[in-house]
Amino acid sequence: MAYLFAFCRLLTGIVFLMSAVSKLRGRAAYEEFTVATRALVRLPARPVAVLVVVAEAAVAPLLAWRPTVLAGFCVALGLLVAFTVAIGVALRRGRRVPCRCFGASAVPVGPGHMARNAVLIVAAAAGAIQAGTGAIQAGTGFALAGLGPAGLAAVALAAGAAAVLLSAIGEIAGLFTSSP
């Protein structure tokens, strides 16, 4: 269970850190995200965009410190559910809004984004359940008892690779759904 918990913790933290950094890497990237937000929600886009970026940026530090791990997973789950609902509404309305989740993608939201969010919801929920039930007893830092350096390195490598793959899933799906 310690390996699964570490994987869920790292995957969720890496994905949200990548997402926040992609939006904050420049004014143009943030403005593109704000425009995409405006197209997805009926709330004021700028405050929603600020709230999303702040919440995304908070997930990784919350997951890194043992006493706040459950809060980190809960913030991640809240964001993922909101993103999934927004994508579902856009799809139902036939809106071809580009996903700005991980940068300046021109690929509109679609089934690939829903699948990515489903995987991340499962990972965050599994981590939250483990953190909430106290199934994983560890120290106060990030190090997890019983993994050892090699185990933690293997889990970190797997989580990093999964995060990169998940962050590109919209682009990958776009390769198969684009019209010539």
Q: What pLDDT, on the 0 to 100 scale, is given for residue 141?
A: 47
* Six token digits for residue 163: 């995060």
pLDDT tens-digit profile of 126-140?
Answer: 999 999 887 555 444
Residue 146 clears pLDDT 90, i.e. is over it: no
Q: Poorest-confidence range of 48-57, 99-108, 138-147?
A: 138-147
Q: How confident is the model at residue 95 (pLDDT cuts 50, 70, 90)?
A: confident
> Which pTM was predicted?
0.87
Q: How many domains does the chain have?
A: 1
Q: What pLDDT, on the 0 to 100 scale, is given for residue 6?
A: 93
**In angstroms, what CA-CA distances link 82 with 48, 86, 138?**
11, 6, 31
Residue 127 domain boundaries: 2-177
Q: What percentage of residues in the chain have a pLDDT greater than 90? A: 44
Question: What average pLDDT is seen over the chain?
Answer: 84
* Six token digits for residue 24: 């904050």
